Amino acid sequence: MDQGQMAKQIRVPQSAASFEYELFDGDPDNLRTVVASPTQILPYIDPAKLKLKHRIGRGTFGDVWLATHHQSADDFDEYHEVAVKMLPPMTEDLTQTFIERFEGLFLKCREIQGVCWLHGISIINGKICIAMKFYEGSIADRMAWLKGGKLDLSHVLRYGINLAKGLLQLHSIGLLVLNLKPSNFLVNDHDQLVLGDFGIPYLLLGIPLLNSDMILRLGTANYMAPEQWEPKIRGPISSETDSWGFGCSIVEMLTGVQPWFGKSSDEIYQSVVIKHEKPQVPVGLPPDVENVIIGCFEYDLRNRPLVKDILYAFESSLRAFNGDGEWIGLETRGLVEKSNHGGYTSWYLSKNPLQDGDTVRLRKPVNTCKPQTMDVHKGIVTGLDNGADKSGFALVKIAGVQNPLRVQESTLERVTDGFAVGDWVCIKEENDKSSSVGILHSVRRDGSVSVGFIGLETLWRGNSSELQMAKAYHVGQFIRLKENVVTPRFEWPRKRGGAWATGRISQVLPNGCLVVNFPGRLVLGDEPNSFLADPAEVEQVSFDNCAGVVEKYKHVEDFHWSIRPLTIALGVFTAMKLSMSIGRRVGAKLNKRQRRRGDQDGRVGSNATWLPPPFANIIFKEGVHTAAVR
């Protein structure tokens, strides 16, 4: 199908009609009629108005061409040099879906200064083409010309501020970039960083491409967060996903070395997703910058800083930076990589600040289902005392207690409609696309919530009335598939005899997906021993719910594969030991009897001389003459 036929079948917005007006030129009796066309604000561009020149780049999501965009009307005729991003081919219905998504964000993106200026969208040779302003160079181009391929700290701080501001604006309109890297950071005429990718990977979510040779990933492998690799399984992707890409980009700008340089995509996957490895952060940075960049590489996206936190760190560091290449008089917020409470990072704790009137309860430590033992279990905030170090205290009114208690704010969490961030919840109306059990990521005071579910690439958004509490799981628990599960969502091993095996939770992902190891299985070679589980399909296994001694022993075997052979060996050894003991006892008794019989024989033989002859003859049956007896 040629581009003309494709364009006819794809629904595109209609351009506004031209209009006439009377121009007053000094003489009211001689008004001049002028035909004018409205300024082009609709996204669709006639393919005939775009003339491709030559390709200037190639990326994960298509090629970039230098082109000319011809805009004309009765009152103007203009030619603009533009960069055209040509996406891989897709079916007509998916093309229509992408165009509709683009339309909804086109005007909003135009209002953002830190993002490349969009001219519009078109279809050329059956491929979607996005036309945007052409910029002479990128941050990656500048780095290539510098000795060592890296930027000075002052430039990194300034460009980082530009980048963070652009990201904040994109996030405010519901867009995620998911493809942050120096080659996508363009530089305008005022030496300011401009985002060259406004979120094309995010618009492509759920849209498969026709080109089977290209594996669609949500970003470029070297800069991808763990949840980007398998968002439906290890997700969801969120604004904190861009924080990881931001950190990778800053590290490259500071060192001149691309994260995971020299590794293949599969090797990066193993390093980032499976082994939980992180890019190396250079030493000697301003404390706030070092702290926030380290936070960007937290495996769990909920523990990463928001872009506003990154912006604050970079702005405060730049203000304290002196022109000689050193920073002086830095003011820090006292943020550290890990909080002192319950294993939560400071970034996690800062995302849900308390207000007067909030209902609060004790915050559960990470990877546990039981709250800490403290004086406060549930109450209402009556006042806040936030210090400069953000380790403030809250006054909490407890029922039955006369005076409010002063409690450290980091130990409390807000409760709205019975829910708090981090709770395990179940959606009341189940569906086939996603799991029914997930983890609550946010709950606003008006009852709106966002939840991570297996099977959804992004956060599910709804109201707290659509949810109910669910069974909570944490690291260290033993679980197995429920008996009524015939075809589980993920592969799961079986025991001898066909029953589902029991494993131990080693990790809980942000969407509730459980990473389970099986210490009770002996595996050889490359056979996997780590599996994933849907929390809606499993049940907890413990000694308390094991009926009978046999079931309890079977659960003991789940702790390590060596328990069964050790038990067997111990049983054999015990049996042998018992047999030997019994044998020795039986042998001893037999020997004792034999010794007794021998002793008796000896005593009888030695006493034959003094027995009277008749008795001796009778006992020993020796022949005796009858005459002698008489």
378 annotated as ligand-binding: no
Rounded to whole angstroms, the Cα distance separating 468 from 431 reads 15
Alpha carbons 530 and 356: distance in angstroms, whole number: 46
Task: Please answer whether residues 154 and 315 qualify as being in contact, where contact means their C-beta atoms are separated by less than 8 angstroms.
Answer: no
H helix or E strand, kind and range, residue 57: strand 50-59
Residue closest to 295 by CA, chosen among 310, 285, 284: 310
Q: How far apart are CA 394 and CA 349, in angstroms?
A: 14
Q: How far from 325 is each of 110, 257, 332, 607, CA to CA, in Å?
A: 36, 21, 19, 119
**Among candidates 201, 166, 171, 200, which has minimal Cα distance to 186?**
166
Bridge-based pairing of strands 19-23 and 32-36 is: antiparallel
Residue type, 322: N
Residue 30 main-chain phi, psi, to 5 deg: -125, 70
What DSSP state is assigned to residue 179? -
Residue 437 contacts residue 424 (beta carbons within 8 Å): yes
Token pair of 372, please? 């800490």
- Sign, Cα dihedral of 613, 614, 619, 620: positive
**Burial class of residue 134, CB neighbours in 10 A (0-12, 13-18, 19+):** buried
**Helices (H), ranges, 320-364:** 346-349
Residue 369, both tokens: 């289902």
How many Å apart are CA 104 and CA 13, to the nearest integer?
12
**Which residues, 6 or more positions from 486, have their beta carbon under 8 angstroms from its beta carbon?**
none
Residues placed in the known binding site for ATP: 85
Residues placed in the known binding site: 85
